[in-house]
Chains A and B, each alone.
Chain A
Amino acid sequence: MSNIGTVRGKSRTRLVMASAVALSAAMAAAGCSSKEDVGAKTADCPQGVTTLKVLRAEHQVPNDQQLDDYSKSVKGCVKFSVQDIPFGQLADKISVLAPTNNSPDIVGYDSPNTADYASKGVLLPLDSYLPSGWKHDVLPATLKEQSFKDKVYSLGVQQDVLTMYFNKTLTDAAGIRVPTSIDQAWTWQQAHEAMLKCQKGTPGNPSIYGLAPTQLGDGTPGTVYGDLVMIRSAGDPKADPNSSAYKTFYAISPDGKNVDGWLNTPEAVQAGKFYQSLFNGKTAVSSKTGRPNAFIDGKACFDIFVGEQALNLKKANVSFKWGNAPMPYIKTPIVQTGALTVGVMAKTKHRDAAAKFVVGISTPPQVAKYNESAIRMPTLQSVYDSLPRFHEAPFDMEYDELLKWGQPRPLTTAFSQYSNIVSKALKDIAYGSDPKSRLDQAVSQLQPIVTNAK
């Protein structure tokens, strides 16, 4: 009996040990597994089938259609493994993956981050792959935003531009004539008066908003893209470069190393006070907290949003008439450029294949196809010329804005930090903080970051 017991005991111990080893091995395998990214050679693909890893924001570029079209154009020799993540987590994800050996080959990223990523060696310069004449065809603001130290890091397939949509049924009823060309654009004072006139109910809690709560960012006030533009419009690019008016317009020094005296100028503070009045007291025309679809639901007279809104309004088949007006301004008309774009990660093992893909989806026919289906503004003049849709209202005015008013968002290699800190300051101002002290606070937080940014 004792022998049998010992044998059983040993068997049990071995079984337990084997199970533990198998469990550990399985866990290790799960954590360390990797796929081969170059497949077997075929007649069509003598170099083998290359699989490129793509990281992108959900429903954004490079979209499935672009990937499929490109794959077909190279006879299936390039395939894609796609990871979709929410837009709000995109920059964080890129930051975490960039230094690892698991970084993607292709990345769809927000173009104002180009300088940041390029300066840290995250992106691959694409100059040697640029099609001839591309630099003469692309919008100046796009070229500026997607370049760093004279090297191009992304070609871009789209540009977003803000305009002010209006519910024509409501504005007509209020006796308001809204301008629809950029030479007749309202100042913010005029726009605010129109919003107040059109609004119905108690300011702060109206039944019809003068200005719809924003759909940008998390749906609350303060985005750099949507709201800093008002502050910048209080500046003047034609003024003396040492003047506060000039500095207000750019909101950061040309070398990207200074925000003190650029972001907290007297003009910026004054604009901050006006911005605050849109959300507070008897002059309030909008809401501090989000209300999705207020404009589409017919609950707002005006709405500031990108061109995508035109598509949304058409899809929703809204019962009211609508149009869009150029962005209001305080002293100088301005819209900030930038959109999601596609780049190649510097760590890719397939530089050539990845770079050719980015160039492939950025050719005029491919860009035109994308712009037409997604209704996004083109980045190439030749594409704009070839698409009749963008020569008609409301898109013709949007393109005019881009071409004549377009400015990149503040160019700095610390854009994500800039965006985060300034957004919080603007949100606090909208919520009631003193504009001067809050802008000063943002500057004191941001200055060491931009000073030390490489």
Chain B
Amino acid sequence: MSTKAEPVPGRRAKRFAPAGGGRARQDLLAAAAFLGPFIILALIFQYGPLLLMVKDSFYDYTLITPDLKTFVGFDNFVRIFTDQGTVKSLIITLLLSVGVVILTIPLAFLLAMFLNGKLPARGFVRTMVFLPVITSSVVVATLWTFLLNANGLINSALGSVGISQQPFLTSGTQALPAIIVLTVWQQLGMATVLYLGGLQSLPSELMEAATIDGASPRQRFRYITIPLMSRTTVLVVVVITVFALQSFAPAYIMTGGAPNGTTNTLVYLIYQTAFTLQQPGYASAISLLLLVIALAISLVQMRLLRTRWDY
């Protein structure tokens, strides 16, 4: 039953190598002791509820009377695609995600390029860029409500240059773009920091070689920087997409899903369906769909944006 240890160079590696049955067991026990509480927490608070959600999605009941459950099979899932409101909400959420990703990626990339240069007070500027990311979504949504209201700061500024008052939060054509802009503003810092990390890990030898070969700055950017950043881009696109799919606070605080459901994001719809409309079974089915969509989009993005480069 003894475990044969492979020779591992280095003092640190040796320390954790399984030197014998007793040592290996000790290490396993130590690992289990450290990981155990957190695995238990993850099972109780993440995977357990996930399984419950899957189960609930096959039932019809209310939160107040959960004991009076009726098994409805796949009815809740069928309803998702026959209920116009839910389909609209799904489309709006996808539009929001696409809009946020399309705007965030180039802006974050350019900002990261800018911050990667030798700037005075670079740390301060980076902090300023990252600050919205760590600000509560509720605070951000409230702040932007004040900015975008009919009597808000932005309309006042527009008025001072002779532009008429804009219904940013009450117009069917402007409310969703307004939320996209807000989300981009909030997530730009995260994407920028990720890109900055990517830029700083680029091998300088390649740039030097290209410079010696006579490549212009534009060519170096086009043929070296962008391809080598594709791995970071995959990460940024996935992170930002998943974040946008989970958008809740702007709809909850700024618009209530109005006007005419044009800002009724999927997570807000789930909240409304479960708690206000008292249909947690249906809400669970929509949640499951959202999970599948998030996973599918992430997998497709990772496949499409798969890097052909390594360094």
Contacts and interface: CB of A to CB of B under 8 A. Distances in A.
A220 B165 contact: no
Interface stretch (B48-56, B90-98, B230-238, B271-279): B271-279
Contacts of B170: 288-289, 431-432
Given A20-B37, A95-B278, A288 B167 contact: yes
A205 B165 contact: yes
A428 B260 contact: yes
A438 B260 contact: yes
Interface in B13-44: 22-23, 26, 29-30, 33-34, 36-37, 40-41
A64 B85 CA distance: 43
A417 interface: yes
Given A416-B276, A417-B277, A432-B259, A120 B65 contact: yes
Contacts of B151: 287, 289, 291
A438 B40 CA distance: 48
Contacts, number: 110
Contact of B272 (A27, A288, A420): A420
Interface in A1-35: 6, 9-10, 12-13, 16-17, 19-20, 23-24, 27
Interface in B150-201: 150-151, 159, 165, 167, 169-172
A19 B30 CA distance: 11
A16 B30 contact: yes
Interface string B88-126: 000000000000000000000000000000000000000
A98 interface: yes
Given A24-B37, A416-B278, A420-B276, A431 B64 contact: no
Given A24-B37, A92-B276, A287 B29 contact: no
Contacts of A323: none
A96 B63 contact: yes
Interface residues of B, number: 39
Interface size grouping (class) on chain A:
35 or more
Contacts of A431: 167, 170-172, 258-260
B287 to A, nearest CB: 16
A91 interface: yes
A99 interface: yes
A156 to B, nearest CB: 22
Contact of A27 (B37, B150, B167, B256): B37
A27 B23 CA distance: 30
Nearest to A299: B151
Nearest to A21: B33
B64 A122 contact: yes
B307 interface: no
Nearest to B253: A218
A417 B276 contact: yes
Contact of A289 (B29, B85, B150, B276): B150
A431 B22 CA distance: 73
A138 to B, nearest CB: 27
Interface in A417-452: 417, 420-421, 424, 427-428, 431-433, 438, 445, 449
Contacts of B30: 12-13, 16
Contacts of B225: none
A204 interface: yes
Contacts of B277: 416-417, 420-421, 449
Q: Can you list the 4 inter-chain pairs with the closest CB atoms, starting with the nearest?
A: A431-B259, A20-B33, A92-B275, A288-B170
8 contacts: A16-B29, A20-B37, A92-B276, A205-B159, A291-B149, A428-B261, A431-B172, A454-B65
